[in-house]
Amino acid sequence: MITKKLNSWFEMAYMSYGTWPLWWVSEAHPEDEKKSVETLRYAIQAGCNYIDTAELYGCWQSEKFLGQAIENYDRESIFIASKVRGSNVSYDAIKMACKNSLERLWVGYLDLYYIHWREEQFDLAECMRAMEDLVDEGRIKYIWVCNFSTQTLKEAQSYCKKYKIVANQVHYNLFFREPESDGLLQYCQENDIMLVSYRPVELGKLAHNPTLHYMGLVKKYNATPAQLSLNWLIHQMNVVTIFHSSNHEHIQENLWALDFKMSPEDIALLRRDFKWQLFESDCIRLG
């Protein structure tokens, strides 16, 4: 997968593969486990070797499925990002959560480790200390955060004594513009931080939205609305994205979004004129 590099030399795929909907497998449907692992293997073979997961996904099962899917791969060939849930963030709880994630994944280290979201009660300074210690212990390579506003991101960075937060993963797509209204996009661009957009096709809604047809961009780029939605993100400075699909054709369609480049004028046009823009996430608000 082609990567985007920051000035710090941290690099990440233009598009990662997300594991959120690889759901809990019930006793009544044990075959779903096989399906989840096969879906992951298909995505990896198709070129998605940057993978986003979290302890919470699939009720602690997505990490296990990912571990099974990558068991025959060299560890270095797969980039794994995982997350500790926002309600589990004391120093000891973070260290324990990371250990458990590594065990479920059957790997020795994580490339990225995030705090999934911020909750009022958590001590950000203590949390960043735990993250820095995990880097020193070789359990994680880089520290990220998720769903942090500009203000919280700045505060979190101020507690890091040795390492820089390399990215913030947030809800951002043609519909949902909170990273723009919060100033986060600009802050990340000015401070060499990757803004990682999740929900790039807004759960499939952007793939079926007619606006990109009306605006003439489907014809101009000979691309589908899903590909245009992804392309609009990945060709903005410091922005990369994470999509999920369990459908082989959709995975291929989305990966073809890497094969063209939207002009800066069209990126600006869509930023300004795309209809139905919303300035607060309906998934997890920045906080």
Q: Which residues bind ligand NAP (CB under 6 A)?
A: 18-21, 52, 116, 146-147, 169, 198-204, 207, 226, 242-247, 250, 253-254, 283-284
* CA nearest neighbour of 190 among 241, 142, 238, 240: 238
| Chain centroid, CA 150 distance in Å | 17
CB-based contacts of 280, cutoff 8 Å, min separation 6: 178
Which of 36, 245 has the CB closer to ligand NAP? 245
Pair 243, 18: CB distance under 8 Å: yes
Which of 269, 283 has the CB closer to ligand NAP? 283
Q: How far is the CB of 171 from ligand NAP (least distance, A)?
A: 7
Which of 93, 283 has the CB closer to ligand NAP? 283
Pair 61, 88: CB distance under 8 Å: no
Q: How far is the CB of 201 from ligand NAP (least distance, A)?
A: 4
Q: How far is the CB of 52 from ligand NAP (least distance, A)?
A: 4
Q: How far is the CB of 227 from ligand NAP (least distance, A)?
A: 8
Integer angstrom CA distances of residue 109 from 5, 56, 79, 141: 21, 18, 10, 7
Position closest to ligand NAP via CB = 18
Which of 115, 128 has the CB closer to ligand NAP? 115
Phi, psi of 4, rounded to the nearest 5 degrees = -110, 135
Which of 203, 264 has the CB closer to ligand NAP? 203
